[in-house]
Structure 1
Amino acid sequence: MADKRFNLTTDPWIKVLDKTTNRERTVSLIELFKNAQDFSQLSGEMRSQDLAILRFLLAILTTVYSRYDANGRGYDWLDVNPDTMQAEMNDDLEDSEINVYLYETWAHLYRSNHFTNIVTKYLKRYADKFDMFGDQPFYQVTETQYNRLVPKKKQISGSEGPGTVAVKQINRLISESGNTPSIFTPKSDEFKNDIQVDELVRWLIMYQNFTGVTDKTKIETADKFSASAGWLYKLNPVFADGETLFQTLMLNLVLRSDEHASVIQQPVWEYDTIDAYVNERKKQVQPTNIAALYTTWSRLLHIDWSERGQPTIFSAELPMFDSDEAFIEPMTTWREDKKTGRYRPAVKTLRSLGTAMWRNFGEYVKVDPSDSGHEAGIVDWLSDLRNQDDSDDQIIRGSLLTLASVGLVSDGNATSQAPVAEVYDDMHINADVLFDPDEDQALHWPHRIEEMIQLTQIIGSDYWHFAADVARIRNLEVRPFANQLSAQFYEGLNKPFKDWLADLTNQDDRDEKSEEWRKFLRKYVLDAAGNVMQTSSSRDIGGFMDVSGIIDKNKGLVNIFTVNNRLKYRVQVHMNQN
């Protein structure tokens, strides 16, 4: 394969949707950045793959535009090497001063609706690092480098040696290990390991972000380290979704310097050597810049190509840094550890699959301005953009923002963490509502929205208890029946609530809009109960004497009518209380 070439900068490998024709196209890095405004979105094999590639693209943009302004000139407070295009600080500026310049670059790019030629210049400068078959192959190591970094008994020779990971395992549509066949896959057994180079590139980037823990080989270190999943696999991802790929990239392009993130960027391909990168990873220290974070490897991979062009992939685990208080990460929600008081990224699990994004509104958005909790970094970044957006040609203010969440959910098994489901959800909200400047908590929109969500959860609990009572009347297993009806209840609420949320403006009367939702919710829950009653049998109508007092503490007659009346009473009480 010595004469084979596939360079990500010039060869097509990124799947996108053309905005005009709505047809899928495959483009190179240079073509994507030149024409991002003409594409509606990334369109890879999976949404979680698109997210991994989005972050890879953002690493490039963050690196370039933290060094060069929208006119292609290096910032005065940096020494930019004309050969390497890498930068060092030459002035001790405050973060606030640096951020003024960075915002000017961001705003100029957004208003121009296209990226500038400096991105192409950067990609051409580092084209050798983006070659799948180059001397330093993209997102891989050579056989010599691999053998130097793993224990002697794990070393390889050509296509022979331990520690292989099959293509069908890297392909997250299959995710099949050598031990457990995956039955419901898009490929038959004969073709599960067949792959084209452009597809392999997409899965390679995704795999580094969504790796399980089945590897048997680790790099050699002085101290033992625990196996770790890919970084994105350990988050509850959230990002801003624009009307075009250009807008999506721009809204998520966090160009700022603060206590969590340095303005000096170092993506993985800018390390002088692989050894230098691995030595840095051995320290298990959180990255100090976004480009490093977005290009973090979870595995040291070496690919050997057979005569017929099929890859054998060798994999060795790398030490992963701790996720506690890794506030440099903008694309996650956070959970506080009640014992330690420290924050760590929330994680999507099997138990949370049926919970829509809007129901966790308070995890994405700080609903109380005085709260010391941590909202998603991308929301904080959008707030920064809105606060600085004071020109006549406003970008963020008054616009409808889309917050989206996509994640690959693992089986929860500590020894495998194999993916079992992919989830996607979004919610639309006016920027002025999301970042309501009114400090009066009673009028502050995010706080009011959270109140309506909490009321909805309470009424949802009332409905669950109604369903549980119906199950007891019908002599059915309580939890499965009640959970099924509850899931249907919330499924039916998703569109109405998201529509109500998207329709809110800062000119609306908060009380009127809240009452609008309360009226809808009351009618909705009673109609849902009515639908259950329409399927009533003679057993439901006859009921039973509740001698145990589980439903009726007075141990009286319980039937479909009494439990429905109980629901109406609970709903009325809770509506009046909230």
Structure 2
Amino acid sequence: MDSKKFNLTTDPWIKVVTAENNQEKTVSLIDLFENASSYRQLAGDMHSQDLALLRLLLAILTTVYSRVDADGEQYSWLEGDIKSPENLEIDLDTFEDDEGEEILFTTWDQLYQAGHFSAAVTDYLKGHTADFEFFGDRPFYQASTEDYDALVPENRKVAAGKGQVLVKQMNRRISESAHTPDIFTPKSGEAKNEVSLDELVRWVIAYQNFTGVTDKTKVVTEEKFSNSGGWIYRLNPVFAKGKTLFDTLMLNLVLVDTRQNGTEYALQKPVWEAKSVRDYVAQRKALILPDNLAELYTTWSRLLHIEWQDGQPMILSAGIPTFAYEDALIEPMTTWKLDKKTNAYRPAGKSLRSLGIAMWRNFGQYVKVRRQDDMHEPGIVIWLRALKQKQLIAHDAPLFLNSVTLISDGNATSQSPAAEVVDDMELQADVLFDDELTERWPIRIEGVIETTQTIGNDYYHFATDIGKIRNLDTRTFASGMSAKFYEQLNGPFKEWLSSLRGQDDRDAKINLWKAELEKIVIKAVDDEMQASSPRDVRGISDDHGRPLNIFTAKNHLMYNVRRDLDLEKE
């Protein structure tokens, strides 16, 4: 099988949806970049797999356009030949004198206005064809037999066949271990380990980003370390989505570090440009956080080696030391939370406990509502704000913030995927980045969300009363009713968000939502009333000896709703 050829630059392996007729199509890297505006979106086996592929595509674009402008001309501040990236150096004085940041913004703008990527991307891929070969001496995202054997313990070398990761473990739609069968999967029996070559390529990339910790083999290091999960696995991912794949790639193409106190301009170093696999692993042992996005986006969590038996892969895996998440603010695709004990920022990861909480309910994690807040906005939001301030995107442009989260089971010894959550928010640029001092939309939106969640609490207490009347486990019952209530809120609230405009009368718009919210509460209560039983009507005595039935519970709820929405005044 080693003589087989499969090159990611020219062979089709990426699934996309065409913009013209919404048909699925499988394309190569070169095809994708040359026709990105003709594709609506990535369409892989899972949304989280698409996110991993998106980051790979962005690593290629970031590498190319940090070296050449939209016309394919090498930037003045780069010394050396871009065809030999290992010899490239930056003259920071020239970068500053030539206003390098403005030139990079100009490159972005010219590409965006053109509506397609320049020939430089295809030229780069053709120049690095060997780096994207899935087989051979240096297989893509893998280690050769010689490199693998040189980096793992003696008893874990390829010939020993130990430390295998089965295809069904790598396939995140199955994620089945060798000992615990997963019944509810899209494949059964031996078919779980069967995979086409294009699908395997996609899963190898996804696995490097969303690795669990069931494997025990590690590369040899002087100090002991624990295998960690894939880098994206512990993030709360957020990225921008456009109308086409070209738009999506451009909106997420961060060419300038727009963070306050951001790092100096750095050379992009995707993993395939490392001198060798052994050099890359040696660098990783130093636990140094990457200073460039291309390296971060192509980070490996495992040293993988694939042997081929009867046309099917036998995959060996060894853990690699990874850098810390604390203050890794170069990562643009996550929300952050401040650890009060260490005063360091950590990714605000999602867990099974927060499974049902929609993005809009955590609006303040995505947008800095108050300037004095110590929250740190996602880097992608900071980038979009910079584009808007420089008028590179229209003030009335609809911006979609998307989130794709693969949530683990929470088990420290496995971290197997338990759920995938996909969500989005649409806001107009003028609303998301409203700088009006007194009437800023973000502050008003946060206030509306707080009011909405107060009504959610009122409804939870109503559900608790119903649970008491029915002699049920009130906590479980109320949580279930509350979750159903928020599901009814999600669609209408997202529609309200997307309807906001910079020139709107804030109070009028907020009152519209309050009126809609009251209608949703009334409908939810009426639905519960229609399902009531004689016991609900008869009721019980509460802790104070007062009658508690479905009617008194409803009256109490509606009183609280009118009070908390302050509807009389309006």
How does the TM-score come out when normalised to structure 1? 0.95
Instruction: Please report how far the alpha carbon of residue 98 of structure 1 lies from its aligned counterpart in structure 2 after TM superposition.
Output: 2.1
Contact 1:385–1:396 (CA<8 Å) still a contact in 2? no
Q: How does 1:56-71 map to 2 (within 5 A)?
A: 56-71=56-71
8 A contact 2:3–2:136 mirrored in 1 = no
Residue 387 of structure 1 pairs with residue 377 of structure 2: no
**Which residue, out of 402, 416, 419, partners 1:418?**
416
Contact (CA 8 Å) 1:85, 1:122: kept in 2 or not?
no
- Which residue in the other structure is 1:344 paired with? 346
Determine the structure 2 residue equivalent to 1:48.
Answer: 48
CA deviations on 1:258-291 (whole Å, 9 max, x unpaired) are 6444431101011111111111100111111000
The whole-number CA distance in structure 2 between the counterparts of 1:214 and 1:227 is 9
| Whole-angstrom distance in 1 between the partners of 2:53 and 2:384 | 21
Name 2:397's counterpart in structure 1. Answer: 399
316-325 or 533-542, larger mean C-alpha shift: 533-542
Choose the corresponding residue for 1:559, options 535, 549, 555: 549
Alpha-carbon shift at residue 80 of structure 1 (Å): 4.1
Task: Name the % identity.
Answer: 56
* 1:333 matched residue in structure 2: 335
Which of 98, 103, 106 matches 1:104? 106
1:576 aligns with 2:566: yes
CA-to-partner distance for each residue in 1:30-78, whole Å, 9 max, x for gaps? Answer: 1110000100000000000000000000000000001100000011111
**Number of the residue aligned with 2:19:** 19
Instruction: Determine the structure 2 residue equivalent to 1:136.
Output: 138
1:95 and 1:257 in contact (8 A); partners too? no
Question: In the TM superposition, what whole-angstrom CA distance separates every residue of 1:126-164 from its partner, at most 9, and x where no partner exists?
Answer: 11010011211000001111111111121222xx42111
Residue in 2 aligned with 1:199? 199
Aligned to 1:545: 541
Post-superposition CA distance 1:286-310 (Å, at most 9, x none): 111000000000000011112x211
> Per-residue CA shift, 1:4-37, capped at 9, x if unaligned?
1000001010001111121111111011100001
CA distance in 2: counterparts of 1:474 and 1:483, whole angstroms = 15
Q: Which amino acid aligns with 2:554?
A: N
CA shift digits 1:332-373 (9 cap, x unpaired): 001111222211001121111111111111111111133231
Corresponding residue for 2:223?
223
**Is 2:358 aligned against 1:360?**
no
1:127 aligns with 2:153: no
Say which of 287, 292, 310 aligns to 2:295.
Answer: 292
CA spacing shift, 1:530–1:405, aligned 2, 3 Å: same
Give the drift of 1:414: 0.1
Equivalent position to 1:487, from 469, 479, 483? 483
1:316 aligns with 2:312: no
Contact 2:365 2:375 in 1 (8 A): no
Q: Aligned partners of 2:548 and 2:494: how far apart in 1?
A: 37
SS in 1 for 2:306: strand
Structure-1 separation of matches of 2:342 and 2:122: 46
Partner of 1:370: 372
- Between 1:121-130 and 1:514-523, the stretch displaced more is 514-523
Q: Which amino acid letter does the alignment assign opposite residue 525 of structure 2?
A: A
Structure 2 equivalent of residue 88 of structure 1 = 89
Distance 1:231 1:91 in 2: 30
Instruction: Tell me the CA shift for residue 248 of structure 1.
Output: 0.3
SS of the counterpart of 1:192?
Answer: helix
User: Are residues 388 and 80 of structure 1, via their aligned partners in 2, closer, same or farther at CA, if it must alter by over 3 Å?
Assistant: farther
- Residue 369 of structure 1 contacts residue 439 of structure 1 at CA under 8 Å; is this kept in 2? no
Residues 204, 387 of structure 1: alpha-carbon distance in 2 compared, 3 angstrom cutoff: same
Task: Tell me if structure 1 keeps the 8 A contact 2:85–2:273.
Answer: no
| Counterpart residue identity of residue 362, structure 2 | N
1:481 shift after superposition: 1.6
Aligned length: 563
Displacement of 1:242: 0.4
Residues 112-261 of structure 1: pairs in structure 2 closer than 5 A: 112-157=114-159, 160-257=160-257, 259-261=261-263
Residues 338 and 374, structure 2, Cα contact 8 Å, conserved in 1: no
Residues 216, 227 of structure 2: 8 Å contact kept: no
Q: Which AA in structure 2 matches 1:416?
A: S
- 1:407 partner SS: strand
Q: Secondary structure at the match of 1:481?
A: helix
In the alignment, what sits opposite 1:552? none
> Does the CA-based 8 Å contact 2:496-2:513 persist in structure 1?
yes
Alpha carbons of structure 1 residues 170 and 465: separation in structure 2 relative to 1, 3 Å = same
Is the contact between residue 67 and residue 82 of structure 2 (CA under 8 Å) also seen in structure 1? no
Change (3 A) 1:96 1:249: farther
Match of 1:528 among 524, 527, 530: 524
CA contact (8 A) 1:58 1:249 kept: yes
Query: CA contact under 8 A between 2:63 and 2:294: conserved in structure 1?
Result: yes
Paired residue type of 2:141:
Y
Partner of 1:283: 286
Q: Spell out, residue by residue over 1:523-558, the C-alpha distance to the aligned partner (whole angstroms, 9 max, x if none).
A: 321332222122222222221222x33xxxxx3111
In the TM superposition, residue 95 of structure 1 has moved relative to its aligned partner by 10
> What's the counterpart of residue 434 of structure 1?
432
Query: Once the 2 structures are TM-superposed, how far is the Cα of residue 193 of structure 1 from its aligned partner?
Result: 1.1
**Cα distance per residue 1:308-349 (max 9 Å; x no partner):** 211111000000110011100000001111222211001121
Q: Is the 8 A contact 1:445 1:510 kept in 2?
A: yes
What are the within-5 Å matches in structure 2 for residues 451-470 of structure 1? 451-470=447-466
SS in 1 for 2:35: helix
Q: For 2:219 and 2:338, locate their aligned partners in 1 and report how far apart those are by CA, in whole Å.
A: 32
Q: What is the CA–CA distance in structure 2 between the aligned matches of 1:402 and 1:545, rounded to whole Å? A: 50
Aligned counterpart, 2:9: 9
Cα RMSD over matched residues? 1.6
Compute the displacement of 1:99 (Å).
1.5
Q: CA, structure 1 residues 469+2, in 2 after alignment: closer, same or farther (shift >3 Å)?
A: closer
Distance in structure 2 (CA, Å) of the matches to 1:155 and 1:224: 19
Q: Any conservation in 2 of the 1:98–1:256 contact (CA below 8 Å)?
A: no
Deviates more, 1:89-98 or 1:531-540: 89-98
Letter in 2 for 1:565: N
Partners of 1:512 and 1:480 in 2: CA distance: 37
Cα distance in 2 between the residues matched to 1:2 and 1:42: 29
Structure 2 Cα separation of the partners of residues 11 and 372 of structure 1: 47
CA deviation string 1:182-237 (max 9, x = no partner):
11111121211111111110000000000000111000000111220000101010
For the residues of structure 1 that align with 2:469 and 2:79, how far apart are their CA atoms?
A: 76
User: Cα distance 1:28–1:337, how it changes in 2: closer, same or farther (>3 A)?
Assistant: same
Aligned to 1:471: 467
For the Cα contact (< 8 Å) 2:304–2:316, is it kept in 1? Answer: yes
CA contact (8 A) 2:7 2:129 kept: yes
> Secondary structure of 1:362's partner?
helix
Give, in angstroms, the shift of residue 96 of structure 1. Answer: 10
Please state how far the C-alpha of 1:85 moved relative to its aligned partner: 4.7
Q: Distance in 2 between matches of 1:2 and 1:284?
A: 33
CA contact (8 A) 1:239 1:331 kept: yes
Q: Distance in 2 between matches of 1:263 and 1:113?
A: 27
After TM superposition, give the deviation of residue 83 of structure 1 in Å. 3.1
Moved more, 55-64 or 71-80: 71-80
